Amino acid sequence: MVKICCIGAGYVGGPTMAVIALKCPSIEVAVVDISVSRIRAWNSEKLPIYEPGLDDVVKKCRGKNLFFSNEVEKNVAQADIVFVSVNTPTKTSGLGAGKAADLTYWESAARMIADVSKSSKIVVEKSTVPVKTAEAIEKILTHNNKGIEFQILSNPEFLAEGTAIADLFDPDRVLIGGREETQGGLKAIKTLKDVYAHWVPQERIICTNLWSAELSKLAANAFLAQRISSVNSISALCEATGANVTQVSYSVGKDSRIGPKFLSASVGFGGSCFQKDILNLVYICECNGLPEVANYWKQVIKINDYQKKRFVNRLVSSMFNTVSGKKIAILGFSFKKDTGDTRETPAIDVCKGLLSDRAHLIIYDPQVAEAQMMMDLSLPKFDWDSQPGSPMQIPTDESVSQSVKVVHNAYEATKDAHAICILTEWDEFKNLDYKKIYDNMPKPAYVFDGRNVVDVGKLRQIGFIVYAIGKPLDPWLKDMPAVA
């Protein structure tokens, strides 16, 4: 029986390994993590992450050929294939801070693999890493354990949160990068290919050299994010000209060379990957003496920041240039629907912007815990944000707890609110009883739709003043000062 061990029981490691265990009953899969609470949750009725379909998959395999454990070293020592799926966040201090990937977790996992290995292993990069990381990992492994053969493969993950199980069941492609120039490398590639071949058609399993695989992951995320920044930049022009971004996206996406996906204008993209991976790409370009390329990709992030700021400015300027003391209902806090993940969610920047204008926020999200929201709103993004003189105004714990209330449904959040701000496209926000909500709000009652989920015409008929990203402006808003 082939034994797989995955280091890192997070949003990627957990679902990916659960699907491998389901599709490959002859393979034993152990998912290990240093976090005791995370492993306890994976072994409980309430899994540590919310992901549609995940509970079913885990229940079918857990205790049979799928195990979650804190015994990291023991499971790594016994495995034939070791996936490394630890977090690789952006560095927040030191060399490359704010751009480079922080490989601390990766390096410590690699050193541990070298220390405990007594048999040859295939080590698979599942985390998203800078190009050439495999070379560094190879050095760590071979220099620290001379007698053992290690083959390094890059097998980046392309799942999106909220649709992870569907994406894993039916991936567009599986990418495996390895040392194609050596017999050992080819054999390792084949071993991993055989695992995926249990359910993924051969033609969708792409094999490349290591550096192409590592770079393809960063490039794919950069291309996806670029599409969103492109449509978001057009949304600003739509508002200025009377065009409708939904109609523009539809028309543009009908060109088969462009395609319809990933063209929904929004308050901005979030999630743990896009910003981090583009910043990483920018850093790699700079390190390789390619400033023009670096600047090109930097713009994708700049437009994303601009979009979030533009949304806050629009809201404040529409409400007579102040939200001080006003109640703003925030509907949705996660970075997209069908996940409770708040990493880099645009809601953090929007809420912080409104708090800096002294608004009172009443937040409702179906999946995000109150403690998570409070922590997200109190913490600085980078170490330097909390330094004296920083341009970022970080609300203190105290001001957050005084100005933010978290409630358990949308009706409670919107009662007596001066404005509603929709920041995640949860399906339930489409079908709320907006007439009832309107009747419970002081007038003028505003809706700021950052995800284009509401029926603008219907809400305007009820009496709301509605702003929706990239849609023709409400006559009321046209008279307000222009926003930057």
Under 8 Å CB-to-CB from 81, ≥6 apart: which residues? 2, 3, 4, 5, 121, 122, 124, 191, 192, 195
Residue 130 beta carbon to ligand NAD: minimum distance, rounded to whole angstroms: 11
Separation CA 360–CA 413 (nearest Å):
11
Q: Does 222 bind ligand NAD (CB under 6 A)?
A: no
Between 23 and 38, CB nearer to ligand NAD: 38
335 binds, among ligand NAD, ligand UDX, none (CB under 5 to 8 A by kind): ligand UDX
- Active-site residue (options: 6, 61, 273, 351): 273
Going from the C-alpha of 453 to that of each of 21, 277, 367, 412, 442, the distances in angstroms are: 37, 28, 18, 19, 22
Residue 50 beta carbon to ligand UDX: minimum distance, rounded to whole angstroms: 13
Between 185 and 366, CB nearer to ligand UDX: 366
Q: Does 199 bind ligand UDX (CB under 6 A)?
A: no
> Is 24 known to be catalytic?
no
Using CB under 6 A as the binding rule, the residues of this chain from 214 to 253 that contact ligand UDX are 221, 224, 228
Separation CA 466–CA 473 (nearest Å):
8
Beta bridge pairs of residue 331:
364, 422
Burial, 306: exposed, middle or buried (Cβ in 10 Å; 0-12, 13-18, 19+)?
middle
The CB-nearest residue to ligand NAD is 10
Residue 115 beta carbon to ligand NAD: minimum distance, rounded to whole angstroms: 12
Angle at 126 between CA 124 and CA 127, to 5 degrees: 130
Block residue for tokens 């490349």:
208
* Contact window for ligand NAD (CB under 6 A) among 29-37, 259-267, 347-355, 361-369: 29-37
Q: Does 90 bind ligand UDX (CB under 6 A)?
A: no
Return the structure tokens found at 161.
Answer: 């949160």
Separation CA 445–CA 466 (nearest Å):
9
The CB-nearest residue to ligand UDX is 271
Kindly state the DSSP code that residue 429 receives in the 8-state scheme: G
Short-list 339, 323, 228, 210, CA closest to 275 = 228
Among 23, 38, 91, 327, binds ligand NAD (CB under 6 A): 38
Residue 83 beta carbon to ligand UDX: minimum distance, rounded to whole angstroms: 15
Between 272 and 345, CB nearer to ligand NAD: 272
270 binds, among ligand NAD, ligand UDX, none (CB under 5 to 8 A by kind): ligand UDX
Between 161 and 365, CB nearer to ligand NAD: 161
Using CB under 6 A as the binding rule, the residues of this chain from 259 to 288 that contact ligand UDX are 262-264, 266, 269-271, 273-274
Sequential DSSP letters for 366-425:
SS--HHHHHHHHHS-SSGGGGSTT-SS-PPPHHHHHHHEEE-SSHHHHHTT-SEEEE-S-
Residue 173 beta carbon to ligand UDX: minimum distance, rounded to whole angstroms: 11
Residue 334 beta carbon to ligand UDX: minimum distance, rounded to whole angstroms: 9
Neighbour count for residue 288 (Cβ, 10 Å):
11
| AA identity, residue 158 | F
Residue 251 beta carbon to ligand UDX: minimum distance, rounded to whole angstroms: 15
Between 32 and 77, CB nearer to ligand NAD: 32
Going from the C-alpha of 456 to that of each of 237, 250, 278, 426, 430, the distances in angstroms are: 19, 18, 34, 17, 11
Among 5, 54, 72, 406, binds ligand NAD (CB under 6 A): 72
Residue 346 beta carbon to ligand UDX: minimum distance, rounded to whole angstroms: 7
Among 65, 75, 87, 90, binds ligand NAD (CB under 6 A): 87
Decide if 368 contacts 459 (C-beta within 8 A). Answer: no
Q: Does 108 bind ligand NAD (CB under 6 A)?
A: yes
Q: Helix 210-241 vs helix 245-253: angle between axes, to the nearest 10 degrees?
A: 140
Q: Does 218 bind ligand NAD (CB under 6 A)?
A: no
Decide if 128 contacts 218 (C-beta within 8 A). Answer: yes
Q: Does 127 bind ligand NAD (CB under 6 A)?
A: yes
Among 159, 316, 400, 437, binds ligand UDX (CB under 6 A): 159
Contact set with ligand UDX (CB under 6 A): 157-161, 221, 224, 228, 262-264, 266, 269-271, 273-274, 335-336
Contact set with ligand NAD (CB under 6 A): 7-13, 32-35, 38, 72, 85-88, 105, 108-109, 127-128, 157, 159, 161, 272-273
Residues labelled catalytic: 273
